[in-house]
Amino acid sequence: MYKFKSNNIRIFTLCFLVHLTLMGVSAQNLARPVPSGSLNQIDEIVKNGISAKAFPGCQVLVWKKAVPIYDKCFGTFTYEGTQKVTPNTIYDLASLTKTTGTLLAIMKLYDVGKLKLTDRASDYLAFLKNTDKENITITDLLFHESGLPASLSCFNLIMTNKSDNCVQIGNSLMCKSEWVAKNASPNYNIQIYDGFYLSNNFHIAAMQKIAHAKLKNKAYLYSCVNFILLKEIAESISGKSMDEYIDNEFFKPLKIGNIAYLPLRNYNRSNIAPTLKRDFLRDGLLQGYVQDPDAAILGGISGNAGLFATSRAVASVYQMLLNGGELNGVRCLSQKTCKLFTTTTSASGRRGLGFDKPVVSNPKHSPCSELAPAEVYGHTGYTGTCCWVDPKNELIYVFLSNRTYPNDGINKLSKMGIRTKIQTQIYKSIGY
């Protein structure tokens, strides 16, 4: 057998390094670990979260240049159960609905010339005319600079302490009989929960509550009411309900499945991760009914919440945006419109046109990793969800969970910074 002498080894090593240099690979780079390998460290971040009971299970997905580089499911539907999370598990997106549903409708209507960003909300919603909200613009709503309160608690309209003229729902919820019923009928066909139906006329009362809400200064204040109004505007212009419009203009043409409002109409309850054991409004397990109380009382199809989906479905929507309005040969939006909505930032720098943005100047108050470039856009959701798009690196990151199960009292997901830590690990994996 031939044995290398020390001189032979030195000559071989030198030749090998020269060969690498000619290929553009330095000895320093050779010593580095393979970047994609560090994506596996996401596993440990997630498992620590599950062990700490920050969430019972989740889906984590990362696409780079439209190719999945990380796509895993962890845990179970509930802490006490054994049903494992799979790629087909459907989650309540909560406020991620704002940019995955409502904003798409606004973008489409803008794209086809039926809406201008300088238009006033009252141009389309008569109940805002002759009020102090008459001059609120579409841009004000998208930037969360309308002056409207963060929420309205519309569900308070149906609740009562009186024993007369009321309906008891579940074990304790007392409701005004004019608004609710235990069984569906022509006048009560909006289902809030099993055995809990709302009057068809309730919507008018909810909108009047918005019209009479106290208006604050037009400084930045994140508000679900802004997107509730944007949904109303989209329906007023299109003449269709939000779910129908989004389905026809986006989800069906793009052939995106496992995404829907009111998911129990099309999907088995057993495929949907539960979000709460019970809440003050509904006396039982919330599985397939939207967790957000205002979205629930507005019929489950609301501008601020109501959409359910898998991580792959969510990623497909944002890949369409990242592609400039096209996916798999189907165009839903123009490149010009996509660029406008995904790059425009408010004067305060805190928000995009509907999208949330990194706070690069103050990472401690940013919803994103400090490694996220300023170009990133996306949103988070109360139930423990997020999607962030990085056009600079052609990255899409989706995290879906039901951190609110069994109750939403302590948000360990945020306290532990799980979503942000995962995003940081993604950037480290690509050399940031």
Same domain, 319 and 421: yes
Which residue shows structure tokens 């007369």? 164
Whether residue 26 lies inside any domain: the answer is yes
d(CA 421, CA 432): 14
Are residues 61 and 168 located together in one domain of the fold?
yes
Q: Which residues of 398-417 are buried (b: 16+ CB within 10 A; e: fewer)?
A: bbbbbbbbbebeeeebeebe
Q: Is 422 exposed, middle or buried (0-12, 13-18, 19+ CB in 10 A)?
A: buried
The tens digit of pLDDT for each residue in 309-345 reads 999 999 999 999 999 999 999 999 999 999 999 999 9
Give the integer Cα–Cα distance in Å for 234 and 285. Answer: 32
Domain assignment of residue 337, given as a range: 39-429
Same domain, yes or no: 85 and 22: no
Do 43 and 25 share a structural domain?
Answer: no
Range from 36-45, 49-58, 146-155, 421-430 carrying the lowest mean pLDDT: 36-45
Cα 416 to chain center, whole Å?
20
Position 162 scores a pLDDT of: 79
H helix or E strand, kind and range, residue 321: helix 311-322
- Asked whether residue 399 is assigned to any structural domain, the reply reads yes
SS3 107: helix
∠ at Cα 243 (256, 335), nearest 5°? Answer: 60
Task: Please indicate, yes or no, if residue 1 is contained in any of the structural domains.
Answer: no
Asked if 82 and 56 sit in the same domain, the reply is yes
The tens digit of pLDDT for each residue in 335-377 reads 999 999 999 999 888 899 999 999 988 888 899 999 999 999 9
319-252-232 Cα angle (round to 5): 90
Class of residue 97 by CB neighbours under 10 A (exposed 0-12, middle 13-18, buried 19+): buried
Same domain, 66 and 166: yes
Residue 267 falls inside a structural domain = yes
> How many domains does the chain divide into?
2
pTM of the model: 0.90
Residue 188: count of CB within 10 angstroms of its CB: 19
**407 and 294 co-located in one domain:** yes
Residue 183 lies in a domain: yes
Residues 80 and 18 in one domain: no
Tens of pLDDT, residue by residue over 154-211, are 888 999 987 778 999 887 789 999 999 999 999 999 999 999 999 999 999 999 999 9
Q: Judge contact between 95 and 305, C-beta under 8 A.
A: yes
Q: Are residues 246 and 276 in the same domain?
A: yes
CATH number at residue 193: 3.40.710.10
Domain co-membership, 292 together with 320 = yes
Pair 20, 168 in one domain:
no
According to the model, what pLDDT value does residue 432 have?
A: 85
Does any domain span residue 123? yes
Report the alpha-carbon distance of residue 402 to residue 274 in Å, rounded.
7
DSSP E strands: which ranges in 282-411? 307-309, 326-327, 330-331, 377-381, 385-390, 395-401
Q: Would you say residue 22 has pLDDT above 50?
A: no
User: Within this chain, do residues 17 and 97 fall inside the same structural domain, yes or no?
Assistant: no
Q: Mapping DSSP to helix (H, G, I), strand (E, B) and coil, where does residue 258 land?
A: coil
Give the DSSP letter of residue 324: T
Mean pLDDT of the chain: 91
Rounded Cα distance between 381 and 300, Å, is: 16
